[in-house]
Structure 1
Amino acid sequence: MSRDVYAQRQARRADPLETVWMDGLPEEVVPAFEAALLRVCPSVAIFRDEVTDTWRVEGVRPQGQGAEELAGALALASLVSGGFEPVVQSAPVEAEGWLARTVASFGEQAIGAGFLVRPTHLPEARIYGRTVLKLDAGIAFGSGEHGSTRGCLVAFDDVARRGRRLRRLLDLGTGSGILAMAAAKRLRRPVLATDIEPWSVRVAQDNARMNGVGRLVRARLADGWRDRHVRAGRPYDLVFANILARPLCSMAKDLSVGLAPGGVAILAGLLGTQVRMVLAAHRRRGMVLERRLPQGAWATLVLRRRR
């Protein structure tokens, strides 16, 4: 990234920011409230309180942005969580200070045996034996730090090393585009990357260009399997779906139809306590579990459609 581009990105982040957070969340409701904050917060993080065995979910956003949308998303999260209503708090944070802390905490990450995530503020350096994925330190979601993203990259590295024929590729809920870029770089094949958030689609396409795979990654605004372009690309040899447990269950039928015989799906965004529920939904559709990868409280599943 040129100095001019980096300076422009810093300037765009000079707007007043605020942190929005909720404390004391039980583990089973974390995904729903994390998803709610992601509706308006480009950066969302979760933390576990070892003493109380509860969770904190916090996000950073421009002050006041998407207030009505956030209220609706939190109400929906409460509904799907059985009526659980956490106290939502917020406080201002200086944009430059937040950026400095983000840059300081976002270092190079070696993930599995095959990938290296490098933030754009670090100098270029040749790495042998790993696929390098460059990401902006300000884009915290889909940066490889979250257990779900790490699990997907480790799982994909294993699938790719087995030499399977992977020609048609789909990334549902692409976020930063990190999984689509990983597949495009490793396999040198086109990837359809979709998300329901326009902001994510723009970021994913920008990241793909920055990583030299802009012609291979096609980022599209789409609501999963309902989109005609997604359906037109069937059958897929590999599908990433790093979303949430309940949407994963809901799409089990579409996934089993959309995968080619012998095709592989890498599912994430679910807690370890939700694995049985997600597995049951997909096994009813003829999917077979190949591997389960725990990543802290999170889990990644590698499923295969029977031939």
Structure 2
Amino acid sequence: MFIPLIKQTIEKSLVEKPEGIVIAKLISEIRKACPSIDRQSIKEAIRTLLDDGSLMYVNRLGQTMISTNVNRPVKISERIWIAPPNTSLHDISSGSVLIKISPGIAFGNGIHPTTKMCLKAMDFIFMSGAKIKSMLDIGTGTGILAIAASLLGAEKCIGTDIDACARSEARANIISNSISKQKIDIIDTEIGLLALQPDLVTANLRYPTLISMSDLIASAVNKEGYAILSGMRPEEKEFVCKKYCKKFELLQEYSESGWNALLLKTNTM
């Protein structure tokens, strides 16, 4: 009966420690968050989550740790799943969108809360019937958001990143998803120099960058477009909203494990 609560606590702990957490420390953190649950019940719940594949053992520097299992499909939204490259469509429900991502050093495996919220917001836009022909992803990392937009129906996506390693990983992930170079372009060009005014701009960045780039992001979106902003903490959300309110109206807010994201639409009034 405690498994959902324990699982939620474990996932929150692993957000800040994606490389894994020592079992004893994990139990201690769960006990701190859920003092009414005894140690034995926690151990049994962890064992159940290991058996069903939600968690996995990893070895880091000679220590056995617990981590999120990235070797299986993970459902993110109504239609979107993330999985390692060797996953087949038969492993998920029909009508779903499967994004194949190799865990890398650029931005993990795509299941960080800030990324998941972007994907949920994107799925919401496409399911609402909005016409998203072009998309720009700022700080693309693994390329997951550009890949998702392409698989959901966008005709042209551009991912920008100043990190050469991230760009390399993104291009490899695009190939894993059988998407042509004509549909997704990964570049290091500054967004202010791009002629494209896309229907959707995504920016999964930290708060200072979201603030400093607000004018560039606002001017990049076309007059009937959308923006998805993620990477802010709850106490930062209000300041981000104020910074973008002149150009956009707020459609949706998302929160998960101490992170927030916003779905915005260009204000045409």
1:144 counterpart letter in structure 2: G
Alignment gaps of 5+ in structure 2: 1-15, 34-59
Change (3 A) 1:123 1:169: closer
Q: Do residues 302 (structure 1) and 263 (structure 2) align?
A: yes
Q: CA 1:154/1:291 → structure 2, altered by over 3 Å: closer, same or farther?
A: same
Between Structure 1 and Structure 2, how many residues are aligned?
220
Checking the alignment, whether the CA contact within 8 Å between 1:142 and 1:178 is kept in structure 2 is no
Q: Distance in 2 between matches of 1:240 and 1:104?
A: 27
Per-residue deviation at 1:104? Answer: 4.7
Cα offset, 1:273, TM superposition: 1.8
Question: Distance between the aligned counterparts of 1:160 and 1:142, measured in 2?
Answer: 25
SS across alignment from 1:185: helix
Q: Distance in 2 between matches of 1:139 and 1:118?
A: 17
Q: Is 1:103–1:121's contact at 8 Å kept on the other side of the alignment?
A: no
| Separation (CA, whole Å) in 1 of partners of 2:141 and 2:105 | 10
Pair 1:114-2:79 in alignment: yes
Q: Which amino acid in the other structure matches residue 93 of structure 1? A: L
- Within the candidate set 230, 248, 256, 1:287 is matched to 248
Structure 1 segments of 4+ aligned residues over 2 angstroms from their partners: 43-52, 100-107, 120-127, 137-144
Report the secondary structure of 1:304's partner residue. strand
The answer to whether 1:144 aligns with 2:110 is yes
Match of 1:239 among 193, 201, 209: 201
Q: Do structure 1's residue 160 and structure 2's residue 121 form an aligned pair?
A: no
TM-score (norm 2): 0.72
Give the share of equivalent positions with the same residue, in percent: 26
Q: Equivalent residue of 2:199, what SS?
A: strand
Displacement of 1:101 in angstroms is: 7.6
Report the Cα offset of residue 140 of structure 1: 7.7
**What is the rounded CA distance, in whole Å, between the counterparts of 1:103 and 1:138 in structure 2?**
15
* Counterpart-to-counterpart distance in 2, 1:178 and 1:279: 25
Quote the residue 1:271 is aligned against.
233
**For residues 266 and 114 of structure 1, do their structure 2 counterparts lie closer, same or farther at Cα, with a shift above 3 Å needed?**
same
- Structure with a larger share of its residues in strand: 1
Q: Any residues of structure 2 matched to 1:13-92 within 5 Å, and which?
A: 51=32
Contact 1:171 1:192 in 2 (8 A): yes
Structure-2 change in CA distance of 1:104 and 1:263 (3 Å) = closer
Contact kept in structure 2, 1:172 and 1:240, CA below 8 Å: yes
Amino acid paired to 2:257: G
User: CA, structure 1 residues 267+273, in 2 after alignment: closer, same or farther (shift >3 Å)?
Assistant: same
Give me the whole-angstrom Cα distance separating, in 2, the residues matched to 1:298 and 1:107.
Answer: 24
| Alignment deviations for residues 96-139 of structure 1 (CA, whole Å, 9 cap, x no partner) | x99x9879554310111010111135455264111000112456
Distance 1:165 1:104, change over 3 A: closer
In the alignment, is the contact (CA less than 8 A) between 1:142 and 1:149 conserved in 2? no
Q: 2:104, 2:247 → 1: CA distance? A: 40
Distance in 2 (CA, whole Å) between partners of 1:173 and 1:146 is: 15
Gaps of 5+ in 1: 1-33, 35-42, 53-91
- Structure 2 distance, partners of 1:240, 1:257, is 13
